[in-house]
């Protein structure tokens, strides 16, 4: 299956969203989606799928991850696999696929996602909704410091109405919710602590979003505000203050955050984890609630934390597999 069409990397002179979907030469990149939905009984779940191509020391290993979390039971189901080659990977100008486990296909009005796991399956339609937006500086994000020449191109579909079916332990459910999709990649040093980030995707209930990309080890940040109607705008005048720290498999991560965005929306929010996060291959991920100063839930936020910000030394078990 490992058929891959390669295209050149471009950052400041990148192409369209469609042109930058594919597999680029000599970079690390990922196709990544997170979302939440409820079933017909109003039970809430979150899901994610990721196909990562890591360009390290001239090699191109792949990392494949998929997860489903049941917020009522607290159960977390996941698939994780890392491999040294592109075996079972298929990528062209509309599709990203790993075997029969993950398949995402771009269509005219949205994406289709199918996921297969021993405990669950997902068949979802992700409508394009508000469409795609270039993040940060017209789609260019510097990785670690403002003066680095290590960059990524980065775009997101931040508000994707999602419908479909979930089969969990043999029982099929109709589901409805929201998803967010990222395509990002560049020639930065993936294993260097200074390039590691904390990522916050705030999904407000009023159909506005913020993408905040933070590098606490160097006090650098960049992001995007996507209003309900109108053009996305660059957002880098904000502060993120960790409320506490936790230890996960011997790695220190922040947990719970105060976020201040002067002059934008309610300006101050608390990001509070809803459930224990999941240690994926190389990073920690969780779903949180966005609380305003009246302690009202204003939205949800997926958080992705890499080990570099608070750990000078860490070990990524790159070729472990689970699920």
Q: Which pair of tokens denotes residue 161?
A: 């109405």
* DSSP-derived 3-state class of residue 42: coil
At residue 72, the 3 state secondary structure works out as coil
Residue 1 lies in a domain: no
- Helix-strand-coil split of the chain, %, nearest 5: 0, 55, 40
- Residue 319 belongs to a domain: no
Angle CA 114–20–137, to nearest 5: 115
In the structure encoding, which two tokens stand for residue 48, read together?
Answer: 């994610």
Q: Phi first, then psi: what are they for 252, rounded to 5°? A: -90, 125
Q: What is the mean pLDDT of each run of 10 residues along the chain (323 residues)?
A: 72 92 93 98 97 90 96 93 94 94 97 97 98 97 91 97 96 98 94 94 98 95 95 95 95 97 97 92 93 98 96 63 57
**Is residue 316 one of the residues assigned to a domain?**
no
Specify the CATH number for the domain of residue 158: 2.40.370.10
- Determine the Cα–Cα distance for residues 37 and 44; give it in Å rounded to an integer: 6
Residue 82 domain-assigned (yes or no)? yes
Distance CA 141, CA 180 (A): 18
Sign, CA torsion 89/180/168/175: negative
Closest CA to 311 of 287, 284, 291: 284
What DSSP letter does each residue of 228-274 carry, written as one string? Answer: SSS--EE----EEEEEEEEEETTEEEEEEEEEE-TTSTTSEEEEEES
How confident is the model at residue 322, as a pLDDT?
58
In a domain, 318, yes or no: no
Residue 272, domain extent: 6-310
* Token pair listed for 298: 């204003």
pLDDT value, residue 5: 66
Q: How many domains does the chain have?
A: 1
Distance CA 47, CA 76 (A): 10
Q: How far is CA 321 from CA 80, 81, 150, 255, in A?
A: 5, 4, 29, 26
pTM equals: 0.95
Fill in the DSSP letter of residue 177.
E
Tokens of 188: 């930065």
Q: How far apart are alpha carbons 24 and 80 in whole angstroms?
A: 23
- Residue 317: inside a domain: no
The answer to the question of residue 172 being in a domain is yes
Q: What's the pLDDT score for residue 318? A: 45
Q: Is residue 11 part of a domain?
A: yes
Read off the tokens for 35: 């979302």
Q: In whole angstroms, give the CA distance from residue 208 to residue 239.
A: 19
């Amino acid at each position: 299956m490992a058929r891959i069409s390669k295209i050149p990397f471009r950052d400041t002179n990148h192409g369209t969203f469609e042109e930058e979907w594919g597999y680029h030469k000599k970079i690390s990149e990922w196709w990544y989606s997170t979302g939440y939905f409820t079933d017909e009984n109003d039970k809430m779940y979150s899901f994610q799928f990721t196909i990562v191509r890591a360009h390290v020391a001239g090699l191109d290993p792949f990392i494949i991850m998929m997860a489903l979390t049941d917020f009522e039971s607290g159960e977390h189901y996941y698939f994780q696999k890392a491999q040294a080659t592109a075996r079972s990977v298929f990528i062209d100008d509309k599709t990203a696929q790993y075997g029969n486990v993950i398949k995402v296909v771009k269509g005219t009005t949205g994406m289709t996602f199918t996921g297969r796991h021993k405990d669950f399956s997902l068949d979802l339609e992700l409508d394009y909704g508000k469409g795609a937006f270039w993040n940060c500086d017209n789609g260019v994000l510097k990785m670690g410091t403002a003066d680095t020449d290590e960059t990524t191109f980065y775009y997101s579909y931040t508000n994707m109405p999602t419908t479909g079916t979930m089969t969990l332990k043999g029982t099929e459910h109709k589901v409805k919710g929201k998803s967010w999709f990222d395509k990002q990649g560049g020639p930065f040093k993936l294993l260097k602590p200074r390039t590691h980030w904390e990522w916050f995707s705030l999904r407000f209930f009023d159909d506005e979003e913020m993408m905040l990309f933070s590098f606490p080890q160097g006090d650098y940040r960049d992001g995007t505000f996507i209003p309900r109607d109108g053009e996305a705008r660059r957002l880098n005048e904000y502060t993120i203050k960790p409320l506490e720290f936790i230890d996960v498999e011997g790695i220190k991560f922040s947990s719970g955050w105060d976020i201040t965005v002067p002059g934008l929306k309610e300006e101050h929010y608390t990001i509070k984890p809803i459930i224990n996060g999941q240690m994926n291959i190389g990073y920690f991920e969780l779903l949180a609630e966005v609380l305003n100063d009246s302690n009202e839930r204003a939205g949800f936020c997926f958080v992705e934390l890499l080990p570099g910000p608070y750990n000078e030394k860490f070990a990524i078990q790159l070729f472990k597999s689970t699920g």
